Structure 1
Amino acid sequence: MALVDADSRFLYVDIGAKGRCSDGGVFQDCTLRDALEKGKLGLPEPAPLPNDDQPVPYSIVADDAFPMRSWLMKPYPHRQMTRQQRIFNYRLSRARRVVENAFGILAHR
């Protein structure tokens, strides 16, 4: 289990789970989830995106194995999606590529 920022830097790593455990199960038992749920992680305050003045909260991008939380973005289920939901899922999958690339860089080293 790892948390990676937008610059492919590993911010959190948990290597204590067995390989057969699901991502959601590992997350359920890790200290990262506990810190996020209790508000002890020290996430920055919501800030506006470029060229906007509306503050947007920081979020973690995850796959559908993770539980729904206000600070976690996961894809919509693939049943009867609207066009907007399909677009959201596509853009979310592009954001998740940063994580995949970070693991690729690490494996290459």
Structure 2
Amino acid sequence: MLLALTDVDYKFLYVDVGTDRCSSDARIFSATAFREALEINNLGLPEPEPLPDDDTFVSFFMIGDDAFALRSWMMKPFPDRNMTRQQHIFNYRLSRARHVVENAFGIMASR
């Protein structure tokens, strides 16, 4: 099983290879030293920055699927039940952002 973290420029930042095939991504991630470092804020992540053309500061975070636990540093989709229009839009945009990881694997496979 392979677990990977990429940035928006398709660069692999973290890779975990060789875990038991029966484990989910969330379970694999929960057993990593990387997750432990995130939990104790020991990775030296950048300070929050304002969004473009805005003065609202936003923290850096990762994007996961619904198997991951919601954390201050992990965004995940809303459950499919009884979603509002805004939640549907959020899930769509989050899904689009997750395509970066899929594209990173496609780029790597083509080389």
User: In structure 2, what is the equivalent of residue 62 of structure 1?
Assistant: 64
Identify the match of residue 99 of structure 2 among 97, 100, 109: 97
Identify the match of residue 88 of structure 1 among 87, 90, 96: 90
Which amino acid is the alignment partner of residue 33 of structure 1? R
Distance in 2 between the 1:32 and 1:65 partners? 18
Aligned positions of 1:29-44 closer than 5 A: 29-44=31-46
Distance in 2 between the 1:32 and 1:2 partners? 11
Distance in 2 between the 1:58 and 1:44 partners? 7
Q: Name the Cα RMSD after superposition.
A: 0.9
Which amino acid is the alignment partner of residue 2 of structure 1? A
Q: Indicate the SS of the match to 1:106.
A: helix
Segments of 5+ residues of structure 1 without an aligned counterpart are none
Segments of 5+ residues of structure 2 without an aligned counterpart are none
Question: Shift of the alpha carbon at 1:16?
Answer: 3.5
Distance in 2 between the 1:107 and 1:94 partners? 20
Which amino acid is the alignment partner of residue 38 of structure 2? L
More deviation, 83-92/47-56: 47-56
More deviation, 15-24/70-79: 15-24
Task: Spell out, residue by residue over 1:44-69, the C-alpha distance to the aligned partner (whole angstroms, 9 max, x if none).
Answer: 00001111111110010111111111
User: In structure 2, what is the equivalent of residue 20 of structure 1?
Assistant: 22
User: In structure 2, what is the equivalent of residue 6 of structure 1?
Assistant: 8
Q: Which ranges of 4 or more aligned residues in structure 1 deviate by more than 4 Å?
A: none
Identify the match of residue 47 of structure 2 among 45, 48, 58: 45
